[in-house]
Amino acid sequence: MSAAPVTPPARVAFLGLGVMGAAMAANLLKAGFAVAVHSRTRAKAEALEASGAAWCASPAEAARGAAIIGICVPDTPDVEAVLFGSGGVAEGAAPGSIVIDFSTIAAAATQGFAGRLAEQGVMLLDSPVSGGPHGAIDGTLTCMVGGDPGAFAVARPYLEAVGRTITHLGPSGAGQVCKSANQIIICATLTAVSEALAMGRKAGIDPETMRGALSGGSADSFVLRNHAKRVIAGQFKPGFRAELMRKDIRLAAAAIRDHGVFGPATAMAAPLVELLVNRGAGGEDLAALGRMIADLSGIED
């Protein structure tokens, strides 16, 4: 694909207005794009409409006339419904347009969706993101992008409106594989940090003092600086819900299996996330994993 980058005030679309999607759509408006939006619940679009977004009754309507169509929904079946269901993007997107899927879904499904859209001249980029709600609000998300490099170049201004670290990783599905790597690292690191804090507490060390000491050395990490604070403070309002990480780590485990990788970290962390959700913490922040490890260690608050 070879075309000029799509820049403001071009007409674009955004579908899926949860916490992440609504913030991303707002940043597209701030960047100067003319943004059409759709979500299952129109109330989620009220603030965006007040800021100038155009509400559309279906994904197809939003896609009509849009050079780029962004999607941010929870899981693989949701993406398929938005793209190919009744009133879906495929019914409205014109040849030459680009769909960017910011959802975290299976890489194999992404490749299949890309092939189906390509049959009608529409390109699909998979661009799962990292950075959470604060990154979405601030426009500082990390975008891990797979798909046609020409489409990536065309869509770059759209991506730059929502993210700060934007990396093209390879063909369709490469972004999803990178996101799986991201989730493996987060889960494994949080498990280790939670275990270390529990050990310190049982040894009589103040956990915040311990966290500060560890942050000054080679053990420093984003998880230690941020998630550990929530663990210590007992603040588990999401954030990123544990039930969403369960979905993501299942995808990661499947990718590890599909690529024949020896995956001890995934094998350790994935069952712990399953246990956390099964214990009723699915709606809490993933940092509740630290509370569970403390509980199982016999630590009473």
Q: Which are the catalytic amino acids?
A: 179
H helices of the chain, where? Answer: 19-31, 46-50, 59-63, 76-84, 89-92, 107-118, 132-138, 149-162, 174-202, 207-215, 222, 228-233, 242-258, 264-276, 288-296
Q: Identify whether the C-beta of residue 73 lies closer than 8 Å to the C-beta of residue 98.
A: no
DSSP assigned state of 57: S
d(CA 191, CA 25): 33
Q: Identify whether the C-beta of residue 36 lies closer than 8 Å to the C-beta of residue 11.
A: yes
Residue 173: left if φ>0, alpha if ψ -120 to 50, beta else—which one?
left
DSSP assigned state of 284: S
d(CA 63, CA 194): 44
d(CA 279, CA 292): 9
Beta strands 141-146 and 129-130: pairing type?
antiparallel
Question: Going by C-beta distance under 8 Å and a sequence separation of 6 or more, which residues neighbour residue 276?
Answer: 242, 246, 282, 286, 288, 289, 292
Question: Going by C-beta distance under 8 Å and a sequence separation of 6 or more, which residues neighbour residue 108?
Answer: 173, 258
- Residue 23, judged by CB atoms within 10 A of its CB (0-12, 13-18, 19+), counts as buried
Token pair for 80:
């398929």
Distance of CA 50 to the CA centre of its chain: 26
